[in-house]
């Protein structure tokens, strides 16, 4: 403590930025922040993390062709200035030794490694392990929800944001018990512990949770509604028309999160994101995670056209965030994926805007080990300055680990 104080004193005398106070934070994975000057001027106060579940690099390419212009987050311009690749391996996939150099390139017709498993042994991550790494900066075995192999509950970006007196929210087109959203507010050994996930979410400090409701509470609606209310969620709603920004903490469960805006009954990801930005915006800043869950589900089902609709809905939500950021420099938008799903590929010489949905082919019904994309809106030069020596290079871009995405988020909270 004394040492840090001396450094602050010294740095203020020398008129260089002071060290960011992170003494409240117990997550050991951000220790390095204490020794850096990342966000020392606290210019950035809001961090928005978009996770396209199952969105591999070929999904993004197909989306660009389908849209007829680059997806919002795939643009390279002054604001979308940082792009990288991310390794998605979990402990389950790392334990299964594969030829890494072969498994990291984009799926193509000659690739066989995208089959996903050999002799029944999993060699790719699932959304639980990958989401937990994005949320906490540690590696996990598949199915774990932010609970490490020693059984420790590892603090998440959502929990860190709350400790720092920020607001925090989660939006997912999946259910509240879906693996990806769960990794931000729950801690349990398997993703199928629905009861524990529902209870952990109720006891989390999240200000806003908006998900799909597929009879989430089953026959225990009254028990769970009470549990959420006892824990400070002043409203539990099931209809779009009941979205109410005057409530202090809100749980919204909707029949469906649709891909089209302006449905009178059910919201789109973009509409929920717009509501969340208004709801969470405050002097201290906020953390928001938004998941496009059906990019993965439609890829498992090999439904190219519907996957593209989901990808466009995901991009529309990001585009809305980009517009919201116009004229302000206090917000980071980070877009990545937890893993690739389906081993999607297409022949780019034959694909065009009108036929891309019919050109898509699939190599697996499961996940692959393909690296995914990372795009950042906003100025992260201080993070890159401190941390870029940790990255190798792949196909001309920096190559991150998924645990680094947590470090980026936490650095700017
Ligand atoms: Zn999946």
Give 90-147 pLDDT, tens digit per residue.
Answer: 887 765 544 444 444 444 433 434 433 444 445 788 899 999 999 999 999 889 999 9
User: How many angstroms is it from 126 CA to the middle of ligand 1?
Assistant: 6
User: What spacing in Å lies between the alpha carbon of 405 and ligand 1's midpoint?
Assistant: 20
> Among 146-150, 298-302, 405-409, where is mean pLDDT lowest?
146-150
Confidence of residue 390 (pLDDT cuts 50, 70, 90): confident
CA of 235 to the centre of ligand 1 (A): 31
CA 300 – ligand 1 centroid, Å:
7
Query: What's residue 396's pLDDT?
Result: 85
Residue 201 host element (H or E): helix 194-203
Q: From the CA of 89, how far away is ligand 1's center (Å)?
A: 14
CA distance 131 to 409: 13
Report pLDDT for 27. 66
- What is the distance in A from the centroid of ligand 1 to the CA of 371? 15
CA–centroid distance, 367 to ligand 1, in Å, is 6
108 CB neighbour count, 10 Å cutoff: 13
Rounded distance from Cα 299 to ligand 1 centre (Å): 8
pLDDT of 389: 85
Between the alpha carbon of residue 200 and those of residues 15, 38, 44, 205, 361, the distances in Å are 44, 31, 29, 10, 39
Are the C-beta atoms of 403 and 154 separated by less than 8 Å? no
Ligand 1 centre and the CA of 337: distance in Å? 11
Is residue 225 pLDDT above 90, yes or no? yes
Distance 311 CA to ligand 1 centre (A): 15
**List of residues 6+ apart from 66 with CB closer than 8 A:** 308, 311, 312, 353, 356, 357
Query: pLDDT per residue over 332-377, tens digit each?
Result: 999 999 999 998 988 888 999 999 999 999 988 888 888 899 999 9
Q: What is the CATH number of the domain that holds 122?
A: 3.40.720.10
162 alpha carbon – ligand 1 mean position (Å): 29
Ligand 1 centroid from CA 310, angstroms = 14
In a 3-state reduction of DSSP, which class is residue 42?
A: coil
What DSSP character marks residue 90? -
> What are the distances in angstroms from CA 216 to CA 14, 205, 221, 393?
56, 20, 8, 43
Q: Band the pLDDT of 1: cuts 50, 70, 90.
A: very low
Q: Quote the pLDDT of residue 28.
A: 65
- pLDDT of 21 > 60? The answer is no
Distance in Å from the first CA to the final CA of the chain: 21
298 CA to centre of ligand 1 in angstroms:
9
Model confidence, pTM: 0.89
Average pLDDT over residues 225-239: 94
DSSP string for 296-330: HHHHHTT-HHHHHHHHHHHHHHHHHHHHHHTT--S
- pLDDT at residue 119, rounded to an integer: 41
pLDDT band per the 50, 70, 90 thresholds, residue 10:
very low
Domain count, the chain: 1
State in Å: Cα 120 to ligand 1 middle.
17
Residue-wise over 334-366: b if at least 16 C-beta within 10 A, else e?
bbbbbbbbbbbbbeeeebeeeebbebbbbbbeb
Mean pLDDT over each residue of the chain, to the nearest integer: 85
Calpha distance 344→341 (Å, rounded):
7
- Joined together, the tokens standing for residue 123 give 């060699």
The pLDDT score that the predictor gives to residue 8 is 37
How far is ligand 1, taken at its centre, from the CA of residue 293, in Å? 9
Task: Give the residue among 345, 353, 365 at the shortest CA–CA distance from 70.
Answer: 353
| pLDDT band at 30; cut points 50, 70, 90 | low
Distance 331 CA to ligand 1 centre (A): 29
Residues 52-105: tens digit of each pLDDT:
999 999 999 999 999 999 999 999 999 998 999 998 988 877 655 444 444 444
- Give pLDDT, residue 103: 44
Q: 25 C-alpha vs ligand 1 centroid, how far in Å?
A: 31
Residue 64 belongs to domain spanning? 2-411
Per DSSP, helices labelled H in 35-168 are: 57-67, 91-94, 100-103, 127-136, 157-163
Question: Quick check: 275 and 284 in contact, CB under 8 A?
Answer: no
Ligand 1 midpoint to CA 409 (Å) = 23
Does 316 have pLDDT greater than 60?
Answer: yes
Read off the pLDDT of residues 241-278 as tens digits, 9 standing for 90 and up. Answer: 999 888 899 999 999 999 999 998 999 999 999 999 99
Q: Please report, rounded to a whole number, the percentage of residues in the chain having pLDDT higher than 70.
A: 84
CA of 297 to the centre of ligand 1 (A): 6
């Amino acid at each position: 403590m004394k040492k840090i104080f001396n450094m602050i004193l010294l740095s203020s005398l020398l008129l260089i930025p002071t060290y960011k106070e992170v003494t409240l934070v117990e997550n050991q994975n951000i220790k390095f922040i204490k020794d850096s000057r990342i966000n020392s001027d606290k210019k950035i106060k809001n961090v928005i993390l978009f996770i396209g579940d199952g969105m591999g690099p070929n999904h993004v390419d197909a989306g660009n062709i389908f849209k007829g212009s680059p997806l919002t987050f795939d643009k390279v311009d002054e604001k979308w200035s940082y792009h990288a690749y991310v390794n998605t391996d979990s402990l389950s996939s790392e334990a299964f030794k594969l030829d890494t150099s072969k498994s990291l390139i984009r799926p193509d017709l000659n690739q066989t490694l995208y089959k996903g498993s050999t002799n029944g042994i999993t060699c790719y991550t699932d959304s639980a392990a990958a989401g937990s790494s994005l949320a906490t900066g540690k590696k996990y075995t598949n199915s774990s929800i932010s609970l490490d192999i020693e059984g420790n509950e590892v603090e998440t970006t959502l929990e860190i944001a709350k400790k720092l007196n920020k607001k925090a929210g989660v939006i997912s087109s999946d259910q509240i018990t879906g693996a990806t959203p769960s990794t931000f507010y729950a801690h349990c050994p398997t993703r199928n512990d629905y009861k524990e996930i529902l209870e952990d979410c109720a006891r989390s400090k999240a200000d806003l949770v908006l998900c799909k409701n597929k009879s989430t509470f089953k026959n225990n609606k009254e028990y769970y509604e009470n549990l959420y209310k006892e824990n400070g969620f002043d409203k539990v709603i099931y209809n779009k028309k009941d979205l109410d920004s005057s409530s202090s903490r809100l749980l919204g469960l909707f029949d469906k999160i649709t891909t089209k805006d302006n449905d009178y009954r059910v919201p789109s990801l973009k509409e929920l994101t717009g509501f969340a930005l208004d709801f969470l915006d405050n002097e201290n800043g906020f953390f928001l995670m938004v998941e496009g869950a059906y990019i993965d589900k439609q890829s498992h089902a090999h439904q190219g056209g519907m996957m593209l609709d989901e990808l466009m809905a995901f991009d529309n939500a990001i585009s809305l965030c980009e517009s919201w950021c116009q004229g302000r420099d206090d917000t980071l938008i980070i877009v990545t994926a937890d893993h690739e799903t389906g081993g999607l590929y297409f022949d780019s010489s034959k694909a065009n805007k009108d036929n891309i949905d019919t050109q898509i082919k699939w190599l697996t019904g499961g996940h692959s080990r393909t690296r995914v994309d990372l795009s950042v809106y906003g100025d992260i030069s201080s993070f890159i300055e401190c941390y870029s020596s940790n990255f190798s290079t792949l196909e001309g871009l920096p190559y991150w680990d998924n645990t680094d995405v947590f470090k980026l988020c936490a650095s700017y909270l």
